[in-house]
């Protein structure tokens, strides 16, 4: 682990987290879920904001103005959010009326028990490990609570080892996958959402037992497309102070594609990554597409 990582991240039950979160971890663990909560769970950069906007659109029946009532991080509070001087995710959620949409990046074994006790529904979005690595690298360059990567090569090495915030991508994706039948979990893939967003939105609707007209579904597909979201300040994080997220380095809504990893991985990095990946994912039954 490099010095910057050691300084900002500490393990909580073996998974690296930011220090402010580690210090208040018990508050998250004790969080009280409600039966009608719907959770959007992801490893960071898997399409959390996209899925969150889709779900809020579903809840608002495609009403554009209603969805622009506030920023995405207030409409879908981030359970384990903890930055000094700002309200915690737990406080924000406790003050949110039902039905709540809840965002989390927690690995499944770290979810507060009450979500399972209350039988809350979870939509998990997974994204292929290579595109995610690239997206996470650029994200690290722009946000201050995360360690600054020394280089892309060092970042990729740390990521493969699970020495990044939220730990191993492999364990995260596999952990949620293995338990998907034990709870009410809908496991979706970013690449499928790119390929056919309407189909994936319909899966969400079925899982949530909601009916919706074709017109509204099509409207939601449009309003949650990359180009529309990129220009929507209620989802593109431009409302955050630049000290927290400096989007002059790269925008939050960066590329939004499958296959960008090819512009960043060297041949040697790719070979090493594949070899490590196959070992870690063997027998998992999980198959990702790295391009569509
Ligand atoms: P890139 O950095 O590859 O562009 P998260 O919300 O989990 O932090 O994920 C952010 C990633 O999702 C970014 O990926 C972002 O561009 C992408 N994204 C956000 N909205 C999207 C959309 N409507 N369609 C496709 N990708 C989207």
pLDDT digits (tens, 9 = 90+) for 104-128: 999 999 999 999 999 999 999 999 9
CATH architecture for segment(s) 14-281: 3-Layer(aba) Sandwich (3.40)
What local confidence, expressed as pLDDT, does residue 85 receive? 84
pTM over 0.85: yes
| Sign (positive or negative) of CA dihedral 245, 228, 137, 175 | positive
Q: How far is the CA of 79 from the centre of ligand 1 (A)?
A: 20
- Which atom of ligand 1 lies at the shortest distance from residue 138's CA? 2
Q: How far is the CA of 132 from the centre of ligand 1 (A)?
A: 10
Is the CB of 130 within 6 Å of ligand 1?
Answer: no
> b/e string for 122-149 if b means 16 or more Cβ within 10 A?
bbbbbbbbbbbbbbbbbbbebbebbbeb
Nearest CA to ligand 1 atom 19: 50
Nearest CA to ligand 1 atom 8: 45
What local confidence, expressed as pLDDT, does residue 56 receive? 98
**DSSP string for residues in 65-131:** HHHTSS-HHHHS-BTT---TTS--HHHHHHTSPSSPEEEE---GGGS-HHHHHTT-EEEEEE--HHH
How far, CA to CA in Å, does 114 sit from each of 33, 40, 86, 107, 272? 5, 16, 25, 15, 40
What local confidence, expressed as pLDDT, does residue 138 receive? 98
What local confidence, expressed as pLDDT, does residue 6 receive? 80
Report d(CA 188, CA 171) in Å as an integer. Answer: 16
Nearest CA to ligand 1 atom 9: 45
How far, CA to CA in Å, does 286 sit from each of 49, 161, 177, 280? 23, 19, 8, 11
What local confidence, expressed as pLDDT, does residue 5 receive? 83
Degrees (nearest 5) of the Cα angle 128, 230, 189?
20
Residue ranges in the chain modelled with pLDDT below 70: none
Quickly tell me which residue has 């309200």 as its tokens: 87
pLDDT digits (tens, 9 = 90+) for 161-173: 999 999 999 999 9
Start-to-end C-alpha separation, the chain:
34
Q: How far is the CA of 230 from the centre of ligand 1 (A)?
A: 9
- Give every CB contact of residue 61 below 8 A, 6+ residues apart in sequence: 212, 216
Q: How far is the CA of 255 from the centre of ligand 1 (A)?
A: 7
What local confidence, expressed as pLDDT, does residue 271 receive? 98
Reply yes or no on whether 105 is catalytic.
yes
What local confidence, expressed as pLDDT, does residue 4 receive? 79
Q: Is the bond into 99 cis (omega within 30 degrees of 0)?
A: yes
């Amino acid at each position: 682990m490099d010095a910057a990582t050691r300084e900002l991240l500490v393990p909580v039950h073996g998974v690296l987290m930011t220090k402010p979160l580690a210090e208040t971890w018990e508050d998250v663990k004790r969080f009280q879920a409600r039966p009608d909560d719907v959770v959007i769970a992801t490893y960071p950069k898997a399409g959390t904001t996209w899925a969150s906007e889709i779900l809020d659109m579903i809840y608002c029946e495609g009403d554009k103005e209603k969805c622009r009532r506030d920023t995405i991080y207030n409409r879908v509070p981030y359970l384990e959010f903890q930055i000094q001087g700002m309200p915690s995710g737990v406080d924000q959620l406790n003050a949110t009326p039902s039905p709540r949409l809840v965002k989390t990046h927690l690995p499944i074994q770290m979810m507060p028990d009450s979500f399972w006790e209350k039988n809350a529904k979870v939509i998990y979005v997974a994204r292929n490990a290579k595109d995610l690595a690239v997206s996470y690298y650029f994200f690290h360059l722009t946000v201050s609570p995360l360690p600054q990567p020394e280089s892309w090569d060092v970042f990729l090495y740390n990521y493969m080892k699970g020495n990044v915030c939220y730990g191993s991508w492999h364990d995260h994706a596999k952990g949620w996958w293995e338990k998907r039948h034990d709870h009410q979990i809908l496991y979706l893939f970013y690449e499928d959402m790119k390929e056919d967003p309407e189909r994936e939105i319909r899966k969400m609707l079925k899982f949530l037992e909601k009916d919706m007209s074709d017109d509204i579904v099509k409207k939601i597909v449009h309003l949650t497309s990359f180009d529309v979201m990129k220009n929507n300040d209620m989802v593109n994080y431009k409302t955050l102070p630049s000290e927290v997220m400096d989007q002059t380095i790269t925008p939050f809504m960066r590329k939004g594609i499958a296959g960008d990893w090819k512009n960043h991985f060297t041949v040697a990095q790719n070979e090493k990554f594949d070899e490590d990946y196959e070992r870690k994912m063997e027998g998992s039954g999980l198959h990702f597409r790295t391009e569509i």
